[in-house]
Amino acid sequence: MGEHRPGVTVRDVAEKAGVHPGTVSRVLNPGQRHRISEETALRVEQVAQELGYRANPLARGLRTRQSSTIGVVIPDLTNPLFPPMVRGIEDYLHPLGYTALLTNTDSEPQRELRGLAALTLRRVDGFIIAPTSANLRIVEGMINDGVPVVLVNRSIEGVGGFAVTPDDRQGASSAVEHLVALGHRSIAHVAGPQSLSPGQERYRGFLQAMREHELPVRKSLVTFAQSFAGGAGVAPARELLERGEQFTAVFAANDLLALDCIKTLKAAGLRCPRDVSVIGFNDMPYADQFNPPLTTIRFSHYDIGRHAAEMLLGEINGERSSPRTLVLSTELVERGSSGPPALPSRSRGSA
């Protein structure tokens, strides 16, 4: 008794309770419940309970045009950034009866488009997207069409859509500040793709902090990675080396790129942090286990997901109170990949 039996329908409940199916539906839908006399409502609930009745979401969805389903579109589940985020999403969604439908895009616009289409086909009620730059316009179009969308990790400049991101600029600044505090003056930056807001914002944060500390920003000390994925940092790191400029530290736009930097530097005979300090961004899982343990900027990926899910449901249910874009604060995590420079640069005389 009370156990879930998939075969039971509203009709079964209605018959056993001696009422009409419509009445059963009303009793079981919180919004209509009050229209029914307490007496019958109780009886219906009792019977539903006994029969182990659970509404069929497909049938309900067909009728109401709501699937209680959310599309989650990310580049790659295998990127350690995303699993905690997805968990945050699901942990928020499930208790509310919603389910997440996942799609990986591998940052390929075509795959992303297909994924979006497939999810639309399944009538998802809304989307949580970490979009590829190439499709920003399309996502923008969806938003303008009134499709509920929340962006995660990236925001679209100039578009008023909902978004949840880490404080990229602040995080980048504090990374530079950490390096400066250690005594570094020649700081390089392996920037992420400038087509995406994290790449842009972290670059801006870098510039801003450098300027604040009156450190010269040499163009030759900034290189750009093609993507945020592992491996994409090798080329820019090598470029940095080949340019022949001196630097004692590098701020990489994320941990994966930082890892590539360390690897590349090591291959060139430079030890981290002895010869050059490296700092990343994200505090990806097991960053503390790496060699050396990675100094990085932390924010809660889980919370990004949770908040995004919360925002999205708010949007779907037409609650207008939510903020348009939520920026989560970041935190410096000091570990082994950063230390004082080998040859301390002249300390400046005044503050």
Q: How far apart are CA 285 and CA 282, in angstroms?
A: 9
Least distance to DNA, CB of residue 147, Å: 17
Q: By the 8 A CB rule, do 162 and 329 touch? A: no
- In the complex, the smallest distance separating the C-beta of residue 68 from DNA, rounded to whole angstroms, is 10
Task: Give the contacts of 340 (CB within 8 A, at least 6 positions apart).
Answer: 182, 183, 184
From the list a second copy, DNA, none, which binds 157 (C-beta under 5 to 8 Å, kind-based)? none
Which of DNA, a second copy, none does residue 286 bind (CB under 5 to 8 Å by kind)?
a second copy
CB distance 310 to 303 below 8 Å: no
- Smallest distance from a second copy to CB 84, Å: 6
Q: Check: CB of residue 103 under 8 Å from CB of residue 70.
A: no
Smallest gap, in angstroms, from Cβ of residue 7 to DNA? 7
d(CA 233, CA 27): 58
In whole angstroms, how close is the CB of 149 to DNA at the nearest point? 22
Residues 6+ apart with CB under 8 A from 52: 1, 2, 3, 4, 5, 8
Between CA 99 and CA 85 the distance in angstroms is: 15
Number of neighbouring beta carbons within 10 Å of residue 3: 6
Partner that binds at residue 25, options a second copy, DNA, none, CB closer than 5 to 8 Å by kind? DNA
Examine residue 273 and say whether the peptide bond preceding it is cis (omega within 30 degrees of 0).
yes
CB of 112 to DNA, least distance (A): 24
User: Length of the chain in residues, anyone?
Assistant: 351
User: Nearer to a second copy by C-beta: 127 or 290?
Assistant: 290
Of 50 and 177, which CB lies nearer to a second copy in the complex structure?
50
Give the residues lining the site for DNA (CB under 7 A).
7, 9-11, 18-26, 28-29, 31-32, 35-37, 39-41, 53, 55-56, 59-60, 62-64
- Minimum distance between the CB of residue 322 and a second copy, rounded to whole angstroms? 26
CB-wise, 48 or 143, nearer to DNA?
48
Burial class (CB in 10 A: 0-12, 13-18, 19+), 11: exposed
Please give the residue ranges that form the binding site for a second copy (CB under 8 A).
4, 6, 54, 56-59, 61-62, 67, 76-78, 80, 82-84, 86-87, 90-91, 94, 99-104, 117-118, 120-123, 259, 285-286, 289-293
119 vs 151, beta carbon nearer a second copy: 119
Closer CB to DNA, residue 22 or residue 160? 22
324 binds, among a second copy, DNA, none (CB under 5 to 8 A by kind): none
259 binds, options DNA, a second copy, none, Cβ within 5 to 8 A by partner type: a second copy
Minimum CB separation of residue 142 from a second copy in Å reads 12
Residue 278's contacts (CB-CB under 8 Å, 6 or more residues apart) are 249, 250, 252, 258, 261, 262, 265, 272, 294, 295, 337, 338
21 binds, among DNA, a second copy, none (CB under 5 to 8 A by kind): DNA
Cβ within 8 Å of residue 218, ≥6 positions away = 245
| Distance separating alpha carbons of residues 305 and 303, to the nearest angstrom | 5
Closer CB to a second copy, 91 or 319, in the complex? 91
Task: Please confirm whether the linkage preceding 344 is cis (ω < 30° from 0).
Answer: no
- CB nearer to DNA: pick between 38 and 157: 38
Residue 28 binding partner per list DNA, a second copy, none, with a CB distance cut-off of 5 to 8 Å that depends on partner kind: DNA
Nearer to a second copy, 65 or 346 (CB): 65
